[in-house]
């Protein structure tokens, strides 16, 4: 239970997952006059399109001959802009309880509490979860001086930070956090980086300027007490084992997708997928819907366009939970002046 006086958000529908399908669900709900809050563990919207293939061309979005993952996400954000949706990014939807009022209360790992009549799970392949380095005893430091994401840059102000990894996240945070920290090392096992060339160049420029201490080495162990890291032992062929001082260690070794806490919400599961009916994409639990890659039904295709269709039917199915005293009228965007007003356009 939240403490008395704690800020509880209320909305019509809580969407878990800001992938392409969760974003389009905001639009379909908005057309019916339903407000949504969106929660995603990622610090950016777009799900797989943004994380796994932002620069690849998608060739099967209706009416788009070719569109990159990043551009699709950007267009979806522009399309939902009129609805001024609240996004809770960098937060994992963890627990779900049913209230006496019949509404749902969702809590995130950051302590955000949201109440709504409807839950729409658009969790895709699952929550993106960091791959952890194989360093014995690292758990004792996690959340105190070892972090797998940067939720607030300010919390690293003045700190002596060591970043580990050679991909986009490691390089992006090396560049972005650099102006804030008191000192910075970057450790990677190879002298080759997998990030965008422009970011690799920025990183090398910081090394040249003496602002990043680049170490080509393996990470061996963390040294420190009471969860506070004081140095990291590194190892390479040239120096053997040696220590580099730091007071925060940020390993960015990539992400895997896991179903996560959704598995504990009392919804029927079948091989980590959520069975739904194809009339409105509701699960076996009344008021909880599932769309996109995470839902399952006979003939399901894991395609973005399937998720868009599922969003429209989910929105119609949600309406009578969110607005029990109102009648839902089916309208086309081309001819509905009320929809056009919601979108701020005139026909």
Name the site residues for ligand FAD (rule: CB under 6 A): 16-22, 39-42, 47-49, 52-53, 58, 60, 92-93, 122-128, 260-262, 292-293, 302-305, 307
Taking the C-alpha atoms of residue 106 and residue 16, their distance in angstroms, rounded to an integer, is 10
* Nearest distance in Å: CB 192, ligand FAD: 22
* Nearest distance in Å: CB 58, ligand FAD: 4
**Structural Rg of the chain based on CA atoms:** 23
Closest CA to 13 of 42, 41, 38, 32: 38
* Nearest distance in Å: CB 327, ligand FAD: 30
What 3-state DSSP class applies to 191? coil
* Nearest distance in Å: CB 105, ligand FAD: 15
Taking the C-alpha atoms of residue 242 and residue 220, their distance in angstroms, rounded to an integer, is 9
> Would you say 183 or 260 has its CB closer to ligand FAD?
260
> Would you say 131 or 239 has its CB closer to ligand FAD?
131
Taking the C-alpha atoms of residue 169 and residue 148, their distance in angstroms, rounded to an integer, is 10
DSSP summary character for residue 61: B
* Nearest distance in Å: CB 199, ligand FAD: 21
Taking the C-alpha atoms of residue 109 and residue 90, their distance in angstroms, rounded to an integer, is 9
> Would you say 20 or 165 has its CB closer to ligand FAD?
20
> Would you say 34 or 121 has its CB closer to ligand FAD?
121
> Would you say 15 or 186 has its CB closer to ligand FAD?
15
> Would you say 126 or 224 has its CB closer to ligand FAD?
126
DSSP summary character for residue 54: T
Q: Which residue is nearest to ligand FAD (CB)?
A: 124
* Nearest distance in Å: CB 24, ligand FAD: 8
How far lies 63's CA from each of 60, 67, 96, 164, 305, in Å?
Answer: 8, 10, 38, 42, 11
């Amino acid at each position: 239970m939240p403490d008395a006086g704690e800020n509880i958000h209320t909305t019509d529908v809580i969407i878990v997952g800001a992938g392409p399908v969760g974003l389009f669900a905001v639009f379909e709900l908005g057309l019916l006059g339903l407000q949504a809050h969106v929660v995603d563990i990622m610090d950016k919207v777009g799900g797989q399109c943004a994380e796994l293939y932002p620069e690849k061309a998608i060739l099967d979005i209706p009416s788009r001959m070719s569109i990159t993952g990043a551009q699709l996400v950007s267009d979806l954000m522009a399309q939902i802009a009129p609805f001024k949706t609240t996004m809770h990014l960098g937060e994992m939807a963890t627990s779900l309880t049913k209230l006496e009022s019949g509404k749902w209360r969702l809590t995130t790992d950051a302590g955000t509490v949201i109440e709504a009549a409807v839950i729409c799970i658009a969790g895709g392949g699952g929550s993106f979860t960091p791959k952890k380095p194989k360093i014995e005893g690292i758990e004792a430091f996690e959340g105190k001086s070892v972090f797998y994401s940067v939720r607030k840059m300010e919390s690293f102000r003045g700190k002596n930070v060591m970043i580990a990894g050679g991909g986009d996240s490691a390089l992006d945070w090396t560049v972005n956090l650099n102006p804030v920290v008191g000192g910075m090392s970057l450790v990677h096992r190879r002298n080759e980086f997998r990030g965008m060339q422009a970011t690799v160049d920025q990183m090398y420029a910081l090394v040249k300027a003496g602002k990043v201490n680049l170490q080509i080495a393996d990470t061996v162990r963390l040294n420190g007490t009471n969860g506070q890291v004081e140095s990291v032992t590194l190892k390479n062929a040239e120096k053997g084992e040696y220590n580099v001082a730091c007071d925060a260690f940020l390993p960015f070794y990539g992400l895997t997708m896991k179903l996560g806490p959704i598995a504990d919400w009392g919804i029927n599961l079948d091989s980590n997928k959520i069975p739904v009916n194809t009339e409105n994409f509701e699960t076996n639990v009344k008021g909880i819907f599932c769309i996109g890659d995470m839902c399952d039904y006979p003939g399901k295709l894991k395609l973005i366009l399937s998720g868009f269709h599922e969003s429209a039917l989910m929105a119609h199915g949600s309406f009578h939970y969110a607005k029990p005293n109102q009648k839902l009228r089916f309208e086309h965007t081309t001819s509905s002046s009320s929809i056009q007003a919601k979108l701020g356009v005139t026909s």
